[in-house]
Amino acid sequence: MRYGIISDIHGNLEALETAIDALSHEKIDKYLCVGDIVGYAANPAECIEKTRALKPYVVCGNHDMASGGLMGTNSFNEAAKAAIIWTRNNLSRENIAFLKRLSFIAKNKHFILAHGTLEEPEAFHYMIDGYEAYRTFRVMDRQVCFVGHSHVPGIFSHKNNRLNYFYKEKVKLSKDEKLIVNVGSIGQPRDGDPRLCYSVYDTGRNLIELKRLTYDIKKTQKKILDAGLPPFLAHRLSEGV
């Protein structure tokens, strides 16, 4: 099986379309979405529709949950709050219903998905250190876990009772190893690289790849500004922060 994995789209249609076009040439058997389809950028409805058309395994992110009205906005900064309110007002009832139906965890025999961490997935902890990685490894019942939320691609490995963190474009999975793979962000990267990031998992080759692509950032920025969303949400895209 070849899986195409996307996360943290955040209403960025130009980035999503670029990723989908690239993945269409990857001989993908099944798609996975690790949450936060909406929030921040100006095309939440279109991003929901294009994501649904992929018929993916999908889990909810905190922005999906808040935009669907299932959680408040007290934990969000002011720009994120403004985007959530704007997003709520620009989604159909059908799209809001879709967001409300999303689960916290999805899995099959090859993988498990959660937006932040497997331990307390409903709390949306960030997978940014060894402590959170250990807590997820402790409850993992699959060899590979895909996460997002931090918008920073990277991989935690647990092998021979040792925990390591690294970033590589290609990783070969060994039989006695477990991996937590943060697939980065389609719509708002935060690792200093403004290019979108997605992942491909080939179970036949035991190979996981993290891939970066450029997209039309200026078009996305113009849409954000024209929609009256906070200008910071547009400007940050050029810097990858």
Taking only the tens place, the pLDDT of each residue in 110-133 is 999 999 999 999 999 999 999 999
SS3 178: strand
Count how many domains the chain has.
Answer: 1
228 lies in some domain? no
Task: Give the mean pLDDT of 14-20.
Answer: 98
Cα dihedral 229, 235, 236, 240 sign = positive
238 lies in some domain? no
Pairing of the two strands 177-182 and 144-147: parallel
Report whether 76 contacts 84 (CB < 8 A). Answer: yes
239 lies in some domain? no
Taking only the tens place, the pLDDT of each residue in 182-227 is 999 999 999 999 999 999 999 999 999 999 999 999 999 999 999 9
Residue in 212, 204, 209 with CA at minimum distance from that of residue 2: 204
SS3 79: helix
222 lies in some domain? no
Q: Furthest-apart CA pair in the chain: how many Å?
A: 53
Model pTM score: 0.95
Provide the mean pLDDT of the chain: 97
229 lies in some domain? no
Taking only the tens place, the pLDDT of each residue in 50-86 is 999 999 999 999 999 999 999 999 999 999 999 999 9
Report residue 105 as tokens: 């965890």
Percent of the chain exceeding pLDDT 90 equals: 98
Domain that holds residue 51: 2-216
48 lies in some domain? yes
97 lies in some domain? yes
Output the pLDDT for position 230.
98
SS3 172: strand
21 lies in some domain? yes
- Amino acid identity, residue 65? M
Cα dihedral 184, 187, 188, 191 sign = positive
Q: What is the CATH number of the domain that holds 87?
A: 3.60.21.10
- Per-residue burial over 166-204, b = 16 or more CB atoms within 10 Å of its CB, e = otherwise: eeeeebebeeebbbbbbbbbbbbbbbeebbbbbbbbbbe
Output the pLDDT for position 167.
94
Task: Give the mean pLDDT of 22-40.
Answer: 97
